[in-house]
Amino acid sequence: MNENREGLGGFIHEHRAKAQISLRKLGELAGVSNVYLSQIEANLRRPSADILQRIAKGLQISAESLYVQAGILDEERQGSTEVSIQSDVRLTESQRQALLTILRSFLADNAPVAKEETP
């Protein structure tokens, strides 16, 4: 089944493996069966936005990053920097949140300047 670990399924699998959460445990946290999760990871099932949100909560990652992977949310709309931070498996959840806080702070600080400079 590993040969099909790309896209949304691979993304979920990577985050689950990094968090050292079993399929069974994630199923409990997300309120779905571990069989269904296995099928999602193998890209055999396409979960709804609600299921993705529950999986994201169980993995302690942003639902938006899963929505982008699933094609529900356009990466351009979300902001590629935020998506990159949220989907980087090399970072811990607290590191991701710290980077997102800093990024959003910078963007908020720059927003009024950009409006003032626009004629």
Task: Specify whether the backbone of 20 is left (phi greater than 0), alpha (psi in -120 to 50) or beta.
Answer: left
Q: What is the pLDDT of residue 93?
A: 84
Domain-by-domain residue ranges, the chain? 2-117
Single-letter amino acid code for the residue at 117: E
Q: Which two tokens stand for residue 108?
A: 């908020």
Q: What is the pLDDT of residue 67?
A: 82
CATH number of 2-117: 1.10.260.40
Task: Write out pLDDT tens, residues 18-49.
Answer: 999 999 999 999 999 999 999 999 999 988 88
Mean pLDDT by groups of 10 residues along the chain of 119 residues: 70 94 95 95 90 91 82 64 78 87 78 47
Q: How many CA atoms lie within 13 A of 94 on its CB side?
A: 0
CA distances from 79 to 85, 103, 104 (A): 10, 11, 11
Burial class (CB in 10 A: 0-12, 13-18, 19+), 26: buried
Q: What is the pLDDT of residue 76?
A: 54
* Positive/negative CA dihedral, 55, 67, 19, 79: negative
